[in-house]
Amino acid sequence: MSNENDSIQNWQSDGSGVERLQAIMCALRNPETGCPWDVEQTFDSIAPYTLEEAYEVVDAIERNDIDDIKDELGDLLLQVVFHARIAEEGGLFDFNDVAQSIVEKMIRRHPHVFGTDGTGKDKTVFSSQQEMKQAWERIKREERELKGGDSDIGTSVLDGVPVGMSALVRASKIQKRAARVGFDWQTIPPVLEKVDEETAEVREAIEQGDSFSIEDEIGDLLFAVTNLARHCRVDPERALRGATTKFKKRFHVMEQDFIRQNKELSSLDEQQLDQAWENAKRLLNKNTA
């Protein structure tokens, strides 16, 4: 790690973009001359911003907005530099350690490209994509075991899936891990039957009026639907984002229609709202046809 004097660089220098970004972060975090907001931040306090920036990168990609992709990747990189700077100040690690860690991981996980010792020689030869995936999982499992130390409990194939990620993404990852060791349905019909079963259990819980059971059964239903998405090779997170975007567009069309009529949505009954919703759907379908 660099010391404090070495890390405080001139952001107006001719260094690389990453070097200048690190210098800017160092200046922002300076207790005496920096930005008070930046100085008081911690790993925990900026974690939500890190997640938000990752989602904004995905949004830019889905909109195929190249300029936005570049800008949002920059915002995400800033989060990495921010976390690394906080760690460096605490004597934990620095940005170079972060980069070196992923370099070593990529070399270790690609013996068919970099060789088993990282020199590019004696490359591992896989006979199929399946064999390569199995090796990838074996290497990751060994990494988890090393992190687990000498625990007598052992490590699970489900370990290492972050609790803080999106619930849909986490559910899908957990299901994929289980499927890799054979715990999975082989066809879609039984998955659909499971969705139907969980839907019926939600209805039963609602009829009983048990709020705890309702939440529990809705969780089971969401988990089953996520499993269905996986079997259909659909990203559940992306599918839900698409459905939400579609809802937003239709609702906006409906809103604008009533604004033109000088009517308030809140003044309409359920039948009128349903009719307005169907009109909005038809209008959008017509415009996209």
CATH 1.10.287.1080 in the chain, residues? Answer: 4-108, 181-234
Topology, domain 181-234: Helix Hairpins (1.10.287)
Per the CB < 8 A criterion, the answer to whether 238 and 61 are in contact is no
- 4-108: CATH topology is Helix Hairpins (1.10.287)
Q: Work out the percent of the chain whose per-residue pLDDT is above 90.
A: 47
Q: What pLDDT sits at residue 1?
A: 47
- Of 137 and 96, more confident: 96
Please give the pLDDT value at position 10. 62
Tell me the percentage of the chain whose pLDDT exceeds 70.
91
Q: How high is the pLDDT of residue 149?
A: 47
SS (H, E, C) the chain: CCCHHHHCCCCCCCCCHHHHHHHHHHHHCCCCCCCHHHHHCCHHHHHHHHHHHHHHHHHHHHCCCHHHHHHHHHHHHHHHHHHHHHHHHCCCCCHHHHHHHHHHHHHHHCHHHHCCCCCCCCCCCCCCHHHHHHHHHHHHHHHHHHHHCCCCCCCCCCCCCCCCCCHHHHHHHHHHHHHHCCCCCCCCHHHHHHHHHHHHHHHHHHHHCCHHHHHHHHHHHHHHHHHHHHHCCCCHHHHHHHHHHHHHHHHHHHHHHHHHCCCCHHHCCHHHHHHHHHHHHHHHHHHHC
Integer distance in angstroms from the first to the last C-alpha of the chain? 58
Nearest alpha-carbon partner for 220 in 239, 195, 241: 195
Taking only the tens place, the pLDDT of each residue in 64-97 is: 999 999 999 999 999 999 999 999 999 999 999 9
d(CA 283, CA 281) in angstroms, rounded, equals: 5
pLDDT 10s digits, 221-273: 999 999 999 999 999 988 998 899 889 988 988 888 888 888 777 787 888 88
- pLDDT at 8 exceeding the cut of 60: no
Q: What is the pLDDT of residue 13?
A: 64
Kindly report the average pLDDT of the chain as a whole number: 86
Interatomic CA distance for residues 169 and 229, integer angstroms? 11
pLDDT score for 275: 87
Residues 6+ apart with CB under 8 A from 40: none
pTM of the shown model: 0.63
Gap between the Cα atoms of 88 and 84, Å rounded: 6
pLDDT at 44 over 90: yes
pLDDT at 75: 96
Tokens for 233, please give them: 């090779």
What confidence tens digit (pLDDT) does each residue in 149-205 have? 444 445 677 877 878 778 888 999 899 888 888 889 999 999 999 999 999 999 999
Q: Compute the distance between CA of residue 83 and CA of residue 29 in angstroms, rounded to an integer.
A: 11
